[in-house]
């Protein structure tokens, strides 16, 4: 288990805050119950922040003809939609909601060439809001596989998430399952799949990024 690089600054700020508040408590608070409560709050806060930025080692499920989960979380949407930003065709949308307690590393669902990437500033609606995929802060990535299939997926910020990080760019050759980004403090990832893919998950299924198979090509 490692701590993700995106958490270093946040963890440092949290530690400084904890040190300051406990120093002040030690000097100015005499009530034993209150002192112990502040200490307990400090420990809980540090544990929450550390677990949020955890980055466990993963053995990736490599599969050229399948889509693997880009994130840990729960499947909250499986539906037919028309993707209008790039694909301009009917697709199956699979959405994975990441709670603040999930690992928040995002991974490439397929390997291939990044044909399109765009960052969209936007709102911070709750991640399960029907319009969050279109209105929230988000990124859109399209990867073309060796077989010529174009897979589009989005990192979407939620009500708590205020920063989306990404590590890819257009024309880059990427591997299936390797890190492509990180979303801080809860959100979701949408995947848009062509008609020739069979969905392998159901609503409310739990996914593990880099391991769970989302779909298989015909």
- The DSSP symbol for 181 reads E
Specify the 3-state DSSP secondary structure of 166: strand
From residue 101, give the alpha-carbon distance in Å to each of 13, 33, 37, 204, 217.
20, 29, 23, 16, 31
Kindly give the pairing relationship between strand 138-144 and strand 112-120. Answer: antiparallel
> Sign of dihedral through CA atoms 58, 59, 63, 66?
negative
CB 140 within 8 A of CB 86: yes
CB 137 within 8 A of CB 121: yes
From residue 64, give the alpha-carbon distance in Å to each of 39, 137, 172, 181, 191.
50, 30, 18, 21, 17
Known active-site residue 187: yes
* C-alpha span between 110 and 146 (Å, rounded): 10
- Of the residues 132, 187, 200, 217, only one is catalytic, namely 187
Cα–Cα–Cα angle for 98, 210, 194, nearest 5°?
Answer: 85
Active site residues per annotation: 187
């Amino acid at each position: 288990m490692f701590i993700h690089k995106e958490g270093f600054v946040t963890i440092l700020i949290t530690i400084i805050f904890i040190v300051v508040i406990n120093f002040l408590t030690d000097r100015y608070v005499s009530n034993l119950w209150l002192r112990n409560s502040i200490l307990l709050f400090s420990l809980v806060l540090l544990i929450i922040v550390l677990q949020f930025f955890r980055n466990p080692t993963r053995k990736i499920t490599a599969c050229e003809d399948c889509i693997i989960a880009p994130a840990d979380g729960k499947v909250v949407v499986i539906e037919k939609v028309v993707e209008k930003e790039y694909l301009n065709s009917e697709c199956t949308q699979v959405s994975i909601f990441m709670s603040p307690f999930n690992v928040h590393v995002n991974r490439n669902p397929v390997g291939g060439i990044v044909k399109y990437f765009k960052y969209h500033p936007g709102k911070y609606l709750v991640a399960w809001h029907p319009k969050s995929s279109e209105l929230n802060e988000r990124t859109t990535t399209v990867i073309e596989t060796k077989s010529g299939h174009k897979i589009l997926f989005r990192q979407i910020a939620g009500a708590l998430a205020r920063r989306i990080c990404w590590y890819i760019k257009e024309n880059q050759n990427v591997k299936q399952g390797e890190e492509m980004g990180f979303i801080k403090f809860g959100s979701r990832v949408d995947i848009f799949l062509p008609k020739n893919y069979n969905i392998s998950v159901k609503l409310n299924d739990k996914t593990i990024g880099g391991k769970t198979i989302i779909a298989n090509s015909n």
